Structure 1
Amino acid sequence: MRAVISTAALALGLSACAAVPADGPATAAIESAAPTAMSEEDAVIADLVSRMSLERKIAQLIQPQINSFTPEDMERYRFGSYLNGGNGGPYGDEFAPASEWLRYADEMYDASVRPLPNGEPVIPTMWGTDAVHGHTNVVGATIFPHNIGLGATGDADLVRRIGHATAIEIEVTGIDWNFSPTVAVAQDDRWGRTYESYSEDPDIVARMGAALVEGLQGNPQADDFLGTGRVIATAKHFFGDGGTEQGVDQGDVNGDIDELLAVHGRPYPAAIDAGVESVMASFNSINGRKMHGNEMLLTDVLRGQMGFDGLVVGDWNGHGQVQGCTVTDCPQSLLAGLDIYMVPDDWRGLMENLIAQVNDGTIPMARVDEAVTRVLRVKYRAGILGADAARPSERGVGGQFALLGSPQHRALAREAVAASQVILTNDGILPLAPGMDVLVAGSAADDIGQASGGWTLEWQGGLEGEMGRSAGIADAIFPGATSIWDGLEMAVTTGGGTATLSEDGSFTTRPDVAVVVFGERPYAEFAGDRPDMAFRDEEGLNLLRGFREQGIPTVAVFLSGRPMWMNREMNAANAFVASWLPGSEGAGVADILTGAVQATGRLSFSWPNDCIGRPLNQAEGALFAVGYGLSTRETGNRGELGESCSLLEERDGADLFTSGRLATGVNAYAAGGALTIADDVLIQMRGSSSPAGVTMRGIDRNAQEDAREIAMQPGARFGIRQDGTGSGGYRIAYRVEERPAGPVTLIVGDGDTATRLDVTMQFQNAAGKGWREMVISEECAPGLGQRIEFATGSQLTFAISSITREELPEGTACSF
Structure 2
Amino acid sequence: MKQYKLLIIGILSLLLTSPSIAKTSDSERPDKKKETREEKVEKILKELTLEEKVGQMTQITLDVITVGENAYVSNEPLAVDTKLLQEAIRKYKIGSVLNTANNRARTPEKWNEVISAIQDEAMKEIGIPVLYGVDAIHGTTYTAGATFFPQQIGLGATWNPELTRRGAEVTAYETRASSIPWDFSPVLDMGRNPRWPRIWETYGEDVYLTSQMGAAAIKGYEGENNDLSDETRVAACIKHFIAYGAEKSGKDRTPTYLPEIELREHYLPSYKAAIDAGAHTIMINSGIINGVPVHANYELITRLLKEELGFQGLVVTDWADIENIHNRDKVAETHKEAVKLAINAGIDMAMVPYNYNFTTNLIELVKEGEVSMERIDDAVRRILLVKEELGLFKTPYPKVKDYPRFGSEEFEKDAYKAAAESITLLENNNDILPLPKNARVLVTGPNANSMRTLNGGWSYSWQGEKVHEFAAEYNTILEAVQNKLGKENVKYAAGIEYKNDGQYYEEQNIDIDAAVAAAKDVDYILLCIGENTYTESPGNLHDLYISQNQRKLAEELAKTGKPVVMILNEGRPRLVSQFVDKAEAVLHVYLPGNFGGDALADVLVGDVNPSGKLPYSYPMYPNALGTYDHKPSEAPTKMEGMYDYDSSMPLQWRFGHGLSYTSFDYANLTLSSNEINGEDTFTVSVDVKNTGEVVGKEVVQLYTSDLYASVTPDNKRLRRFEKVELKPGETKTIKFTLSGKDLAFVRADLKTAVEKGDFKVKIDKLSADLKVKNTVVFDNKEI
User: With structure 2 as the length reference, what TM-score do the two structures score?
Assistant: 0.70
CA distance in 2, matches of 1:83, 1:537: 40
* Equivalence map 1:292-331=2 (5 Å): 292-322=295-325, 323-324=331-332, 326-327=334-335, 329-331=338-340
Task: Answer whether contact 2:55 2:94 (CA < 8 A) is retained.
Answer: yes
SS at match of 2:594: coil
Q: CA deviation at 1:564?
A: 2.0
Structure 1 residues 603 and 415 mapped into 2: Cα distance closer, same or farther (>3 Å)? same
Counterpart CA distance in 1 for 2:146 and 2:602 is 22
Aligned Cα RMSD in Å? 2.6
> Could you tell me how far apart the structure 2 residues matched to 1:255 and 1:153 are?
30
> Aligned partners of 1:228 and 1:174: how far apart in 2?
10
Q: State the Cα deviation string for residues 170-210 of structure 1 (Å, max 9, x = none).
A: 11111110000000012211111111110111111111111
Equivalence for 1:602 = 613
* Offset at residue 408 of structure 1 (A): 1.8
What are structure 1's unaligned runs of at least 5 residues? 1-6, 20-35, 117-121, 465-473, 636-816
Equivalent residues in 2 for 1:473-492, closer than 5 Å = 474=468, 476-492=469-485
1:180 aligns with 2:175: no
Amino acid at match of 2:527: V
Structure 2 unaligned runs (5+)? 1-8, 22-31, 66-83, 326-330, 496-514, 631-648, 665-783
- Candidates 51, 54, 78, aligned match of 1:55: 51
Q: Is the 8 A contact 2:133 2:182 kept in 1?
A: yes
Could you tell me which of 349, 365, 378 is aligned with 1:370?
Answer: 378
Q: How does 1:58-97 map to 2 (within 5 A)?
A: 58-69=54-65, 70-76=84-90, 77-84=92-99, 88-89=100-101, 92=102, 94-97=104-107
Deviations 1:309-355 (A, max 9, x none): 10100001112233216556511111110000010112x11111111
1:638 counterpart residue number? none
Shift of 1:123: 0.6
- Provide closer, same or farther for how the CA distance between residues 275 and 508 of structure 1 changes in structure 2, counting only shifts above 3 A: closer
Using the TM superposition, give the Cα deviation of residue 15 of structure 1 relative to its aligned residue in structure 2, in angstroms. Answer: 11
Tell me which residue corresponds to 2:589: 579
After superposition, the Cα gap between the structure-2 partners of 1:289 and 1:331, relative to the gap in structure 1 and judged at 3 Å, is same
Instruction: Verify: 1:499 aligned to 2:490, yes or no.
Output: yes
1:364-385 residue CA offsets vs partner (Å, 9 max, x unmatched): 1111111000001111111113
Question: Following TM superposition, where does structure 1 have runs of at least 4 consecutive aligned residues deviating by more than 4 angstroms?
Answer: 7-11, 13-16, 36-39, 325-329, 399-402
Equivalence map 1:616-627=2 (5 Å): 616-619=627-630, 620-627=649-656
Partner of 1:448: 451
Give the Cα–Cα distance (whole angstroms) in 1 for the partners of residues 119 and 182 of structure 2. 14
Q: Which residue of 2 aligns with 1:44?
A: 40
Identity %: 30
1:460 Cα offset (Å) = 1.4
1:435-584 equivalences in 2 (<5 Å) = 435-463=438-466, 474=468, 476-493=469-486, 498-504=489-495, 505=515, 506-507=517-518, 510-539=521-550, 541-584=551-594
Deviations 1:596-647 (A, max 9, x none): 1111100110011113463444543223211111112569xxxxxxxxxxxx
Other structure's SS at 1:330 match? helix
Residues 11/170 of structure 1: CA separation in 2 closer, same or farther (3 Å cut): closer
For the residue of structure 1 that corresponds to 2:527, the secondary structure is strand
Amino acid paired to 2:284? A
**Residue 405 (structure 1) aligned to one of 407, 416, 419:** 407
CA distance in 1, matches of 2:152, 2:42: 39
- The aligned amino acid for 1:174 is S
- The 3 A distance-change label for structure 1 pair 523 and 565 is same
Inter-partner Cα distance in structure 2 for 1:253 and 1:557: 33
- In 2: Cα distance, 1:487 partner to 1:498 partner: 13
The residue type paired with residue 113 of structure 2 is: R
CA contact (8 A) 1:14 1:123 kept: no
CA distance in 2, matches of 1:325, 1:170: 40
Q: Please state whether the residue corresponding to 2:245 is helix, strand or coil.
A: helix
Q: Which residue of 1 aligns with 2:77?
A: none
The question of whether the paired residues in 1 share the 8 Å contact of 2:570 and 2:590 is answered with yes
The farther-off stretch of 543-552 and 376-385 is 543-552
Measure how far apart 1:508 and its partner are. Answer: 8.1
Q: Judge conservation of contact 1:514–1:554 (CA < 8 Å) in 2.
A: yes
1:240 maps onto 2:243 in alignment = yes
Alignment match, 1:382: 390
CA contact (8 A) 1:442 1:503 kept: yes
Distance 1:568 1:618, change over 3 A: farther
Query: Using a 3 Å threshold, how does the CA distance of structure 1 residues 453 and 613 change in structure 2: closer, same or farther?
Result: farther
Between the aligned partners of 1:508 and 1:321, the Cα distance in structure 2 is 53
Which SS does the other structure have where 2:141 is aligned?
coil
Q: Give the equivalent residue in structure 2 for 1:699.
A: none
Answer yes or no: is the 8 Å Cα contact 2:442–2:519 preserved in 1. Answer: no
Q: What is the TM-score with the length of structure 1 in the denominator?
A: 0.68
Cα offsets for 1:68-109 (capped at 9, x unmatched) = 23322343133111101xxx32xx572433321221011111
**Which stretch shows the higher mean deviation, 623-632 or 309-318?**
623-632
Equivalent AA in structure 1 for residue 97 of structure 2: Y
Identify the residue that residue 668 of structure 2 maps to in structure 1.
none
Aligned residues, how many? Answer: 579
Cα contact 2:566–2:587 (8 A) shared by 1: yes
* Contact residue 190 and residue 613 of structure 1 kept, 8 A: no
Residue 106 in structure 1 maps to residue 106 in structure 2: no
Aligned to 2:420: 418
Q: Mark the CA change 1:11 to 1:422 in structure 2 (over 3 Å): closer, same or farther.
A: closer
1:665-719 CA deviation, whole Å, 9 max, x = no partner? xxxxxxxxxxxxxxxxxxxxxxxxxxxxxxxxxxxxxxxxxxxxxxxxxxxxxxx
AA partner of residue 629 (structure 1): G
Deviation at 1:544, TM superposition (A): 2.9
Equivalent of 1:163, from 164, 168, 173? 168
Are residues 15 and 171 of structure 1, via their aligned partners in 2, closer, same or farther at CA, if it must alter by over 3 Å? closer
Which of 290, 293, 296 aligns to 1:290? It is: 293
One-letter amino acid matched to 1:264: Y
The offset of 1:486, in angstroms, is: 2.0
Query: Which amino acid letter does the alignment assign opposite residue 269 of structure 1?
Result: K
CA contact (8 A) 2:104 2:466 kept: no
Q: What SS does the aligned partner of 1:252 have?
A: coil
Contact kept? 2:221, 2:236, Cα under 8 Å: yes
Opposite residue 331 of structure 1, the aligned amino acid is K
Deviation at residue 250 of structure 1 after TM alignment:
1.4
CA distance in 1, matches of 2:96, 2:319: 14
Tell me if 1:353 matches 2:356.
Answer: no
Residue 502 of structure 1 and its aligned partner are, at CA, apart by 2.7
Deviations 1:233-289 (A, max 9, x none): 011000000211122221222232133122111111110111100010111222111
Q: CA deviation at 1:577?
A: 1.1
Distance 2:519 2:528 in 1: 20
Q: Secondary structure at the match of 1:576?
A: strand
2:205, 2:627 within 8 Å by CA — same for their partners in 1? no
Whole-angstrom CA distance in 2 between matches of 1:8 and 1:59 = 17
Does residue 143 of structure 2 align to residue 141 of structure 1? no
The letter for the 1-side match of 2:209 is: I
Residues 787-798 of structure 1 correspond to what in structure 2 (within 5 A)?
none
1:393 correspondence with 2:408: no
Which is worse superposed, 552-561 or 70-79?
Answer: 70-79
Q: Which residue in the other structure is 2:507 paired with?
A: none
SS in 2 for 1:50: helix
